[in-house]
Structure 1
Amino acid sequence: MAILLLSEPAPGDPRDQDAAVVVAAVTALDAASPKDRLAIAAALNANLPGFRLALTELDRAIQTGTRPAYFQSRLPEGVTIIVADAGDQKKSFGFLHDGQGIVLDTLPLTPGFDRFALVTIGFVAISLFVFSLWAAISLTRPLTNFANVVEGFGLDSVPAQLPEAGPEEVRKATRAFNRMQRRIAEMAAQRTRMLAAVSHDLRTPITRMRLRAEYLETGDTKAKLVRDLDQMEAMVCGCLTYLRGGAQQEMVVLDLASLLQPVVDQFTDLGSIVRYNERSHISVRGNPDDLDRAFSNLLDNAVKYAENPEIELFERDGDAVVEVSDRGPGIPSDQREAMLEPFERGCADTTAHAEEGFGLGLAIARAIVEAHGGRLVLDERVGGGLIARVSLPKIDIETR
C-alpha cells in the first residue's frame, strides 16, 4: 500500500503525463510564428484525446492558481503556466513570451498509476501463491512419507527407518515412530524365538508319550490316547503355521492353475468330489508351499462342512481370483469376519463338525494371502452355502 501511495504522480510531477503534454505543446506554440499558432493548436486538439488548447487574450494581472516548479524549469524563458483546480479537469492558462494568452483543458490522464497498481497486485498475488504452494508442499511431503511408511509397516520385513525431515512436530512424530518400530520388531523377534523354543519343548514330550503309547495293548484307551496326542501335535503345528503365515518367504512367479490342480487331486484321492473350473492360466508371485497350504485349508473346510465343493479360477479387475464354494450351512453375515480370526469355530448347533479342529484354518489362510498382497473374504453363495474368495495380484509375463 505504501508503494502504491508513493507512486501516485502529483500534478506537475515529471511522471504526470498531462504535465509532459502541456510542456511540449506550449513549447511548440512559443517557438512558432503568430500566424502558424492556430494551425498548431488545431493539430494538437485533433490528435491528443482529452486535450483542449485555445489562443485568447488574457490579462496578465490574473494570478489565481499555482505555478508548478516543473513547468517553470522546463518552459522557454518568458513563458508562464498557471494551474487552476476545476474539479474533474485540470484547467491551465498562461502566456507566451510575446504576451499571447493560452487556455488549456486536460482530462486526468494517469494510466501509469493503474498499470503499476495492477502489476504490483499481480506480483504480490503470484508471490503469495508460489510461497504458499511451497510451504504446503514442504509441510505435506513429510506427512505423506510418514503416512506411507505407517501404512506399509508390518512384521514381515525389517522396519525401514523414516528420515527425520519437515517441521519440528513432524520430526518428533517421526522419531517416536522409528523408536516404536524398533521396539515392535524386537518384541516380534523375541516372540518368534520363544514360540520356537516352546514348540521344540512340546514336541519332545509328545514324541515320548507317543512311543510309550505304542507299548500299550490295543484297545479303546490306546486309541483315545493316540488321538489326543495327534490333536496336541496338530495344535502345536497349527499355531506355528499361523504365526509363520505373515513371515516373508521366498517368492517366485508361478502358474496358479498348475498350483491348484495338485490340491484338488489330493482331496479327490481321499474320496472327496471336488469340481475344478479353470478358465485360464494366471501367473502370480508367491511362495508355492504357503499358497498350497492356504488353498488346502479352504478346501478342507469346504469338504468338512459341506459336500461336493467347487473351485473356480478367473481374472477380475487385474487380479487373480480363486473362489472355493460349497453348499453347506454357510456362515451368518455378522460372524464371517470373526471366523477369520484364530481359534474361532462354527456354532455347534449349525454343524456337526464345529468342534473339530482348532479354529486356525481360515486364520492361517488369511495370514498367507495377506502376506502375498492379497485379500480373503467370505461371502454368501446364491442358493445357499459359502464362498471363500481369494484375490491375488496378477503378474503379466511373456511366454514362448
Structure 2
Amino acid sequence: MSRLRTINVQLALLLLVCVGLFHAAVTVIFLLFQPAPSGLRDHNAAVIVTALTALNAASPAERPAIAAALNANLPSFGVKLSEPGSAAVQVGHPVYFESLLPAGVQAEVDERDKRVIGLLHDGQKFMLEASAGKHRQHRFAVVTIGFVSISLLVFSLWAALSLTRPLTTFANAAESFGLDSVPAELPEAGPEEIRKATRAFNRMQRRIAEMASQRTRMLASISHDLRTPITRMRLRAEYIENAETKVKLMRDLDQMQAMVGGCLDYLRGVPQQEMVALDLASLLQAIADQFADVGAAARYDGPDHVNVLGSPDDLGRAFSNLIDNAVKYAESPEIRLLQTDTEATVEVVDRGPGIPLEKREIMLEPFERGDIGTPSSAYDGFGLGLAIARAIVEAHGGRLTLNERAGGGLVARVSLPILARKKES
C-alpha cells in the first residue's frame, strides 16, 4: 500500500482512470447510436440488393457457389439458401428498399433475430443474417481499448517518472546531507518549481558547509593554540616548592590537556586508517590492564580470542573513552565480550546513576555531558567521548547504544561484525 502513496504511481493511476473513462464513454456512445443491423440503411441496403440480384439472376445450381463467395467477401452478413419451392414465412415487415429488388424477389425484416429473409423469383428461400458486423465491432472496441490502455500505461509511467525523478534525487540528497564531507551539488532538472527548490537546496548546502568549515577551523585553532600556554604552565609548575599545590596544579593541567586533546580528536574526525585483522579480546584485555595500572578496577570477562576487521588505534580510543566514562561516573566497570556467528558485542557495564531513557540518544551527540547525580570531577571535558566512540564504531560498520543495567547503572553496548574465518582446504 505504501507504493500507492508515491507521486509517480498516483499520477499514472490518475491519467489511466481519466483517459480510460473518456475512451469508455466514447465507445459506449458509438455502440448505442450506431445504425442497427435491422435498419439496413445506406451501405448495407446496397449490399443486400446487389447480393439478391446476383443470386436471383443465377441458376439454382450456381447459387451455392455465389452464396459461398458472398459469405467469404461479406463478413458483415451470412447468406443461406434453402431448396427451391419452400414457402415463405411471414415474420416481419417488408424492407424499405423493396422497390430496388429484382422482379419476383420478396424480402422481409425479422426484427427479433436481426436478419432478412425472403424468396427469389423461382421460390427458393434465402436468409441474410446481419450479426457478424456487431461481433466485429465488439472485437474492434476491445482491441482499441486494450491498445489505448497499454499506450496510456507506458506514456503515463514515463511522464510520472520524468516528473518525480528530480524529487527523488532531491529527497535522497537531503537525507544523506552531512557535515563530514563536501556536498555535491544537485543537477537542476525537471519542472521549474523543482529547479527552484534544487537551486535553494544547493545554496543552503554551500552555506552550511562553509559555516561548519569556519567553525571547525576556529575551534581547531583555539585548541591548538591552548597547548602552548599549557606547556609553559607545566614547566613553571615544576618550580613550585609546595608539594600539595604542585600536585593540584599538575592535575588541573592534565585535565586541560585531555580536554584540548579530545577536542582536537573530534575536530579531526575519524581517520581513514588501514583496516587489519585484530584480536578484539586481546585489545580489550590490554585496555582493562591499562586502567587497572592507574587505579581503576576495570575487569574483562569474555573469550580469549575474537577476530574482527578494524583499526587497533581507533578501536582502542573508542573503548578507552567508554571505559573512562564508566570510571568517571561509577566504580569498578566491567567489560564483557559476547560472540555470535555474525558479530561481536562488547558491553561496558557500570553501577552508576545511569542515564534517563529520553536522554540516551542525546548523550551520543557531541558537546553533551551527563551531569546529574555525578561527582564534580565528572563535569570535566567537552562531552566528546561518546560522540568520538560512536563515530569510530560506525566507521567500522558497527553500532553503539546506551541501555539500562538491571539493578541500576548503564550498559554501553558496541556491536561489530566478526571477521569471517577462512575455510580450511
User: Is 1:323 aligned to 2:350, yes or no?
Assistant: no
Deviations 1:319-377 (A, max 9, x none): 54322223444333233233334444444535575445553322322233344454321
User: Is 1:205 aligned to 2:205, yes or no?
Assistant: no
Residues 190, 344 of structure 1: alpha-carbon distance in 2 compared, 3 angstrom cutoff: closer
Conserved? CA contact 1:276–1:311, under 8 Å: yes
Taking structure 1 as the reference length, what is the TM-score of the superposition? Answer: 0.76
Match of 2:359 among 326, 335, 345: 335
CA displacement at 1:66 relative to structure 2: 2.3
**Aligned residue in 2 for 1:176:** 200
CA displacement at 1:313 relative to structure 2: 3.9
CA displacement at 1:186 relative to structure 2: 2.4
Q: Which runs of 5+ in 2 are unaligned?
A: 1-22, 72-76
User: Is 1:33 aligned to 2:63, yes or no?
Assistant: no
CA displacement at 1:208 relative to structure 2: 1.6
Residues 306, 78 of structure 1: alpha-carbon distance in 2 compared, 3 angstrom cutoff: farther
Conserved? CA contact 1:378–1:387, under 8 Å: yes
User: Is 1:307 aligned to 2:332, yes or no?
Assistant: yes
**Aligned residue in 2 for 1:88:** 112
* Residue identity opposite 2:275 in structure 1: V
Q: Relative to structure 2, which stretch is displaced further, 205-214 or 111-120?
A: 205-214
Match of 2:278 among 255, 274, 288: 255
- Percent of residue pairs bearing the same amino acid type: 54
Deviations 1:259-281 (A, max 9, x none): 43432332344453412313863
Q: Which runs of 5+ in 1 are unaligned?
A: none
Conserved? CA contact 2:277–2:419, under 8 Å: no
Q: Relative to structure 2, which stretch is displaced further, 86-95 or 179-188?
A: 86-95
**Aligned residue in 2 for 1:283:** 308
**Aligned residue in 1 for 2:181:** 157
CA distance in 2, matches of 1:266, 1:68: 119
CA distance in 2, matches of 1:28, 1:212: 132
CA distance in 2, matches of 1:113, 1:15: 16
User: Is 1:266 aligned to 2:293, yes or no?
Assistant: no
CA displacement at 1:207 relative to structure 2: 1.5
Conserved? CA contact 1:92–1:105, under 8 Å: yes
Conserved? CA contact 1:88–1:107, under 8 Å: no
CA distance in 2, matches of 1:334, 1:393: 28
CA distance in 1, matches of 2:418, 2:299: 25
CA distance in 1, matches of 2:80, 2:305: 88
CA displacement at 1:149 relative to structure 2: 2.6
| SS in structure 1 of the partner of residue 302 of structure 2 | strand
CA distance in 2, matches of 1:213, 1:336: 40
CA distance in 2, matches of 1:373, 1:327: 28
Conserved? CA contact 2:337–2:344, under 8 Å: no
| SS in structure 2 of the partner of residue 156 of structure 1 | coil
Residues 260, 137 of structure 1: alpha-carbon distance in 2 compared, 3 angstrom cutoff: farther
CA distance in 2, matches of 1:21, 1:378: 92
Residues 269, 206 of structure 1: alpha-carbon distance in 2 compared, 3 angstrom cutoff: closer
CA displacement at 1:53 relative to structure 2: 6.2
Deviations 1:191-228 (A, max 9, x none): 22222221232111222222222222133333333222
Matches for 1:33-72 after TM superposition, within 5 Å: 33=60, 64-67=94-97
User: Is 1:226 aligned to 2:250, yes or no?
Assistant: yes
CA distance in 2, matches of 1:399, 1:244: 39
| SS in structure 1 of the partner of residue 194 of structure 2 | helix
* Residue identity opposite 2:205 in structure 1: Q
CA displacement at 1:189 relative to structure 2: 2.4
Residues 124, 369 of structure 1: alpha-carbon distance in 2 compared, 3 angstrom cutoff: same
CA distance in 2, matches of 1:150, 1:282: 37
CA displacement at 1:111 relative to structure 2: 0.3
CA displacement at 1:112 relative to structure 2: 0.4
CA distance in 2, matches of 1:166, 1:78: 74
Conserved? CA contact 1:157–1:248, under 8 Å: no
**Aligned residue in 1 for 2:190:** 166
Taking structure 2 as the reference length, what is the TM-score of the superposition? Answer: 0.72
Conserved? CA contact 2:263–2:382, under 8 Å: no
Deviations 1:69-90 (A, max 9, x none): 9x97xxxx76857564x53333
CA displacement at 1:128 relative to structure 2: 1.9
| SS in structure 2 of the partner of residue 89 of structure 1 | coil
Q: How many residues align?
A: 378
Conserved? CA contact 1:51–1:107, under 8 Å: no
Conserved? CA contact 1:311–1:324, under 8 Å: yes
CA distance in 2, matches of 1:35, 1:173: 81
